[in-house]
Amino acid sequence: MEEQLTIPKHVGIIMDGNGRWAIQHGLTRSQGHRAGADNLKKLCIHMKEVGVSYISLYAFSTENFKREKKEVKFLMDLFVTLFTKEFQTILDQNIKVVFSGRRDPLPKKVLDAMDVISSRSSECDGCVLNICLNYGGQSEIVDMVKKTCLLYQQGKVSLDEIDTNYVQANLYQNLPPLDLVIRTSGECRISNFMLYQSSYTEFYFVKTYFPDFSESAFDQAILEFNQRTRKFGG
Ligand code: FPP
């Protein structure tokens, strides 16, 4: 990519369309998720290489538990395989993996796999990959409020200390605001993804299904991002 482009510091991706991609190719939904997972590994490495410092991926929403049991099981097993066996390429790139979301009711094998990859990558400082798993943006705010109420009751935080910096630092992860959120598959919704962090984000909605959202498709999003005038309310 051209050097003078502004690269967003924090990019979020709502990886939508695995199921429709599978139908289009006469495959099962599981095969669609598998193709999505293969794509995301390539994409993360590319994003890091072009200079993105923080990547947030919407892997599984709290609402996704409502899907068919078979699909939920497939996704849980896929997460285990990725975090225990397939994320070596991510570690080789010096990418630190962190998670956002509620641990309950994720199966123990998934939690263990998440803990393994978090601890194996804890010293990495090339880029942060934040995986939103059993995640909901509204629940994230609720959990931050509850945590703050407890700290307040215990006298560990005062009202004066609570400002936007405090809130950012007390969400699931202390990440900078999102500069760019990409949603694949043509849907133009935020679907409960990082509500607080996306206050001033630029949205990029693209028709491509996630398994086909290639490195060059990402570069296209960066070009579009560079056409936008960011105003931050000013
Ligand atoms: C949405 O497509 C996709 C998901 C709910 C799962 C995303 C998961 C992956 C890409 C696998 C691995 C991810 C990580 C970060 C470890 P959809 O099934 O809703 O597609 P559809 O709307 O076409 O049915």
Residue nearest (by alpha carbon) to ligand 1 atom 24: 19
Give Cα separations from 26 to 38, 153, 162 (angstroms).
Answer: 18, 57, 52
Q: Is 57 in the pocket of ligand 1 (CB under 6 A)?
A: yes
Give the per-residue pLDDT at 231.
Answer: 87
Question: Quick one: tokens of 159?
Answer: 């009202």
Q: Is 211 in the pocket of ligand 1 (CB under 6 A)?
A: no
Give the per-residue pLDDT at 124.
Answer: 98
CA 29 / ligand 1 centre spacing (Å): 9
Sheet of strand 54-61: strand arrangement: 95-100, 127-135, 54-61, 10-14, 180-183, 202-205
Question: Quick one: tokens of 33?
Answer: 């998720």
Beta strands in 37-156 (DSSP E): 54-61, 95-100, 127-135
Give the per-residue pLDDT at 2.
Answer: 55
What b-and-e string marks burial along 77-93, b requiring 16 or more CB atoms within 10 Å of the CB?
Answer: ebbbebbbeebeebeeb
Give the per-residue pLDDT at 3.
Answer: 59
Residue nearest (by alpha carbon) to ligand 1 atom 22: 17
Residue 146 burial by CB count (10 A; 0-12/13-18/19+): exposed, middle or buried? exposed
Q: Helix 69-81 crosses helix 29-50 at what angle (to 10 degrees)?
A: 40
Cα 172 versus chain centre, distance: 12
Q: Is 33 in the pocket of ligand 1 (CB under 6 A)?
A: yes
Over its length of 234 residues, how does the chain's per-residue pLDDT go in tens digits? 555 899 999 999 999 999 999 999 999 999 999 999 999 999 999 999 999 999 999 999 999 999 999 999 999 999 999 999 999 999 999 999 999 999 999 999 999 999 999 999 999 999 999 999 999 999 999 999 999 999 999 999 999 999 999 999 999 999 999 999 999 999 999 999 999 999 999 999 999 999 999 999 999 999 999 999 998 888
Residue 60 three-state SS: strand
Q: Which residues contact 179 (CB under 8 A, 6 or more apart)?
A: 8, 9, 10, 11, 201, 202, 225
Residues with catalytic function: 16, 64
Residue 61 three-state SS: strand
Give the per-residue pLDDT at 233.
Answer: 85
Q: Which helix (H) or strand (E) covers residue 234, if one does? A: none
Domains contained in the chain, CATH given = 10-137+177-225 (3.40.1180.10)
Question: Of all atoms in ligand 1, which is nearest to the CA of residue 82?
Answer: 16
Give the per-residue pLDDT at 191.
Answer: 97
